[in-house]
Amino acid sequence: MAINWFKYAAPTTFYGLAGKMIPWFAVSAALLFCAGLYIGFFVAPVDAQQGEFYRIIFIHVPTSILSMFLYLIMAGYAALGLVFNTRLSSMMASAIAPTGALFAFISLWTGALWGKPMWGAWWMWDARLTSELILLFLYLGFIALHASIDDPRRADRAAALLAIVGSVNVPIIYFSVQWWNTLHQGSTIKFSGTTMHVVMQQALLIMLLACWSYAFAVVLARVRSIILERERNTTWITQIPGVAEFPEAKR
Amino acid sequence: MSLDIWMRENPLAYVWIGSYAVALLIFAIEIAMVIHKRKITLQQVRLMRDAKNETFGNETYGDEE
């Protein structure tokens, strides 16, 4: 049975679909966080060089990966909205930005906490750290630019340009450890294999999946509010659950 | 300097409080903000519907009592 994907590009149908998906992602995220934290703290062995401090990896790496991927997804949606003038794409881009910014912030915060015991400093003007900080500023710039323009369609277009141009920063973050001499270590898990303990890998993977599930749940919940806000003048909005079952207020 | 000593004596507490507790707090705040935003938006939509019905006399969504 073929799925008509274009059907879900309309806010009217996506609103309901998102509502059905949120509980699944939210429950998955909660369970995966519990499992990941348990394995990361109680099962994974202590690192030979870094001791207990290495356990920051289970939140630092997933949030860093998510901050980069979410930016690319946001820029992709923004580009779709700009090129095809699709309403939902721009709404998705707006919904992703705050979550991406928070992931970038957590990445920088946990990185600082890891850097202090390992490098002896909270912050270094290192290529990886600086480019991640620029990513946070790009997210904040996107949110601020969008909020500063009253007309939502014009705001979508202006913010989309910033998102697309800013996407050049993502490969810079990723390859910064190869292109420049940096304090930040390179990738531990590569296509060619890894020296990491298998339990550490499992905890890392589970925490990564937890962060993905959390991000999906929150972004879908936020995009539903954006759809409600933007489509509030349409008839279908008055028939959705949460609006239709509330009778008109008596005056 | 005292923080340096404390973190080396209590590495797990440092990791938990410093990074995981902060991250989970940020997630909790974000969830609360998303839920609050939805409540406010639904309220706005209902108010707009009511205002529209009052202006144009729409009988479809009115209270039938």
What are A25-52's pLDDT values in tens digits?
Answer: 999 999 999 999 999 999 988 888 888 8
Q: Where are the domains of chain A?
A: 58-250
| DSSP SS3 for A193 | strand
Q: Are A108 and A100 in contact (CB under 8 A)?
A: no
Q: Are A67 and A133 in contact (CB under 8 A)?
A: no
Is the CB of B11 less than 8 angstroms away from the CB of A225? no
Q: Are A96 and A70 in contact (CB under 8 A)?
A: yes
Mutate to test the interface with A, among B49, B50, B52, B63 (most CBs of A within 10 A): B49
Give the gap in angstroms from C-alpha B21 to the nearest C-alpha of chain A: 11
Compute how many other C-beta atoms are within 10 angstroms of the C-beta atom of residue A199.
Answer: 13
Contacts of A41 in chain B (CB under 8 A): 12
Is the CB of B63 less than 8 angstroms away from the CB of A109? no
Is the CB of A218 less than 8 angstroms away from the CB of B61? no
Contacts of B11 in chain A (CB under 8 A): 51-53, 117
**What is the dihedral angle through the alpha carbons of A45, A48, A51, A57, rounded to the nearest 10 degrees?**
-70
Residue A191 has pLDDT above 70, yes or no: no
Residue A146 has pLDDT above 60, yes or no: yes
Per-residue pLDDT tens for B1-36? 688 888 888 999 999 999 999 999 999 999 999 999
User: What ipTM did this prediction achieve?
Assistant: 0.89
The answer to whether A88 contacts chain B (CB < 8 Å) is no
Mutate to test the interface with A, among B2, B34, B38, B40 (most CBs of A within 10 A): B34
Residue A5: what pLDDT?
A: 67
Per-residue pLDDT tens for A209-240? 999 999 999 999 999 999 998 888 787 877 77
State how far the Cα of A61 lies from the Cα of A33, in Å rounded to an integer: 14
Per-residue pLDDT tens for B29-56? 999 999 999 999 988 888 888 887 777 6
Percent over 70 (pLDDT), chain A: 94
